[in-house]
Structure 1
Amino acid sequence: MKKLSSLLLLATLVLYGCKNKESNSQNNHITITPIEHATLILSIDSTNIYVDPVGKNETFKNERKPDLILVTDIHGDHLSIETLNRVTTAKTKIVAPEAVYNKLPQALKLQTTVLKNLEHKSFSINQQVFNIKAIPMYNLRAEALKFHEKSRGNGYVLTIKDKRIYISGDTEDIPEMRQLKNIDIAFVCMNLPYTMPVESAASAVLDFTPKKVYPYHFKGTNGFRDVAKFKSIINKENKDIEVEILNWYSN
């Protein structure tokens, strides 16, 4: 039955315009490449940003090395020391919460800036200024509090030129998410039991009204979340929010 449910959901993803990694997603000067689950690449003009790089030897072999890496949390689907060692160059800047920093080898620590929740810092990369703000990420449901306690991990709002990009990390529909303003692109998680249900994710998106939202991190212990339902809930209430479903699980 679980296998059948997964097949039906995958068929639904195709129906709703799921894109493959070769086509990516274009947003003016921003290209989004989904890698898998929580891992993605943002290419902004000449700057390459890796988010939670996790993967095998061949995962990033055809990708440009990162100028900037954002790490959200300590769990294995977000933090891989092996992958960081493989993709990081001498010029790569890393941004991470303290809990991640404490797990890094000394060489990577020297390239890492620690941001606590709600702290922000600007970085000059390739003659452009990137402002990064750490947004809290944590669980609300009593049965899920053990997974992500408040202040350990970071979501991020990345501001470059006139664009603001939100990356939720592992979280539920917390007040700090609902209160976000002027978000152009959002990546919002939804998987059980670790983050939040589809309905909660959609409700939060309807509150902070990004121009465009990508569901990601939607595979849980019982298979894939219904991202088509997420899209339907949002578009029923607000047709101005564009929901785009990418292929996060091609392997």
Structure 2
Amino acid sequence: MKLKAFFTLLCSLVILQVSAQQQVKPDMVKTNKGQLKIQPITHGTLVLSWNGKTIYVDPYGGAELYKGIAKPDLILITDIHPDHLDTKTLDGLDLKGAKMVVPQAVADQLPEKYKGQAEVIGNGQSTNQLGIPIAAIPMYNLPEAEDSKHVKGRGNGYVLNIGGKNIYISGDTEDIPEMRALKNIDVAFVSMNLPYTMDINQAASGVLEFKPKVIYPYHYRGTDGLADVESFKKMVNEKDANIEVRLRNWYPTEAKKK
């Protein structure tokens, strides 16, 4: 029995080690109340850890990707598409006590067991969770059309104020006026994958308009492979060297397609 327990423990440690190796090294951002830890996971998914609280954004890709990461206190979901509302991944996570902030379209599709945990806000609305102000920002395709992949009003981007730092999470959007009009953004996560959101030229134009201090290209896998985020960085920094473009590997298990 002791030998069986030993091998069970050994297997668990190996799984945790493999999961940790697959995770990209996290970044730290100094706030007025300690460090904000930014952990890329995959595609449009990230984990924010701050002041003893853990926030999952669009948890997707399977629960094994979150091994070694604290269970969520808060989950933000931006849209109904399965790379954002991934019920299989949610079911594999420990969500006891976790609050979810979601748009109405997501709330309508949440399994019944999660509906009581959901706080619904729409574009232009806000909430306060874990002592963090959260505002819902529109996310949609241009030109606006009823048959577009992301219609205005269905999904939410989010701006969080964490320890005095404004963090913008774009969700699936193009360089819409609401994004271009943002002010005082410290850290931004901006999508750039065709044909679902925008190309790197639109993304660079939008970023140069609202001028975040730090920008992470994320959600950059499209139908033709991964977007050329190195060229995006060059476009931004040729016109504004003060914007820090952080390129991180959101697809550690995928080979980049040229």
Q: Give the TM interval when normalised to the shorter protein.
A: 0.7 to 0.9
What letter matches 2:148 in structure 1?
K
Q: How much identity, in percent, do the aligned residues show? A: 51
Tell me: higher relative CO, structure 1 or 2? Use CA pairs within 8 A at least 6 residues apart.
1
RMSD of the TM alignment (CA)? 1.5
Is the 2:98–2:117 contact (alpha carbons within 8 Å) kept by the matching residues of 1? yes
Question: In the alignment, which residue of structure 2 is the partner of 1:58?
Answer: 64
Scaled by the length of structure 1, what TM-score is found?
0.87
Structure 1: which amino acid aligns with 2:69? E
User: 8 Å contact 2:63–2:93 — kept in the other structure?
Assistant: no
Match of 1:112 in 2: 118
SS at 2:66 equivalent: coil
Aligned to 2:202: 200
- Aligned partner of residue 135 in structure 2, secondary structure: strand
In structure 1, distance between residues paired with 2:121 and 2:94: 19
Contact persistence 1:139–1:148 (CA under 8 A)? yes
Relative distance call for 1:176 and 1:215 in structure 2 (3 A) is same
Amino acid of the structure 2 residue aligned with 1:63:
I
1:161-176 paired onto structure 2 within 5 Å: 161-176=163-178
Unaligned runs of 5+ in 2: 1-21, 254-258
| Residue in 1 that maps onto 2:9 | none
* Structure 2 counterpart of 1:146: 148
SS at match of 1:165: strand
Q: Which residue of 1 aligns with 2:53?
A: 47
Q: Distance in 1 between matches of 2:146 and 2:108?
A: 24
* TM-score, scaled to structure 2: 0.85
Please tell me whether the aligned partners of residues 137 and 154 of structure 1 are also in contact (alpha carbons under 8 angstroms). Answer: yes
- Superposed counterparts of 1:27-106, under 5 Å: 27-28=29-30, 29-106=35-112
Could you say if the C-alpha distance between residues 61 and 180 of structure 1 is closer, same or farther in structure 2, counting changes exceeding 3 Å? Answer: same
Counterpart of 1:102 in 2: which secondary structure? helix
Contact 1:144 1:193 in 2 (8 A): no
Q: In 2, Cα distance between the equivalents of 1:71 and 1:155?
A: 9
Paired residue secondary structure (1:59): helix
Deviates more, 1:165-174 or 1:28-37: 28-37
- How far did residue 61 of structure 1 move? 2.1
Q: 1:43-64: CA deviations, max 9, x gaps?
A: 1131110000012241112211
